[in-house]
Amino acid sequence: MEIELNIHRNTLVIRLSGELDHHVAKQVRLMIERTLPGRNIKNLIFDFSDLTFMDSSGIGMIIGRYKLMKSIGGNVALVCKNLQLKRLVEMSGLTKLITMYTDVNHAISEVTTA
């Protein structure tokens, strides 16, 4: 598992590769919590383009961050290509809350605000 964080203006992009389960979700959550303070970040983009596996812990991690960002007037988006991941995301009803993109640059340009 690799976690890569990039900041574009007020958007934090979290790029994960490998497998996202409960064990990894705990680490990702911690990294986000450490990165947010003092940086005026309003939006999160989870870039799962290179993720090969995810279970409901990943869904829970996204929903938890969604509630957090909404509470400060921000937004969360998801980039996802893998069909199995899409199936899980759709099944969870997550697509009712957040927008799913297939291209990370498209997501950044839609989500990031001045």
Partner 1 sequence: MKPENKMTLSFLSKSSNEAFARAAVAAFVAQLDPTLEEINDIKTAVSEAVTNAIVHGYGSSDGIVTIIGLLFDDHSIKVSISDTGKGIKDIEKARQPLYSDSEDIDRAGMGFTVMEAFMDTVNIISDVGEGTTVELIKTLQKHYN
Ligand X SMILES: Nc1ncnc2c1ncn2[C@@H]1O[C@H](COP(=O)(O)OP(=O)(O)OP(=O)(O)O)[C@@H](O)[C@H]1O
CB of 109 to ligand X, least distance (A): 32
Q: Which residue from 9, 26, 70, 106 is in contact with partner 1, where contact means CB under 8 A?
A: 26
Computed over its alpha carbons, how large is the radius of gyration of the chain?
13
Enter the tokens of residue 107.
């997501």
Does residue 78 interact with partner 1 by CB under 8 A?
A: no
Non-local CB neighbours of 45 within 8 Å, separated by 6+ positions: 11, 12, 13, 14, 76, 77, 78, 79, 104, 107, 108, 111
Q: Which residue from 8, 10, 17, 21 is in contact with partner 1, where contact means CB under 8 A?
A: 21
Cβ proximity of 35 and 5 under 8 Å: yes
Does residue 35 interact with ligand X by CB under 6 A?
A: no
Interacting residues toward partner 1 by CB under 8 A: 19, 21-23, 25-26, 29, 53, 55-57, 59-61, 63-64, 67, 84, 88, 91-92
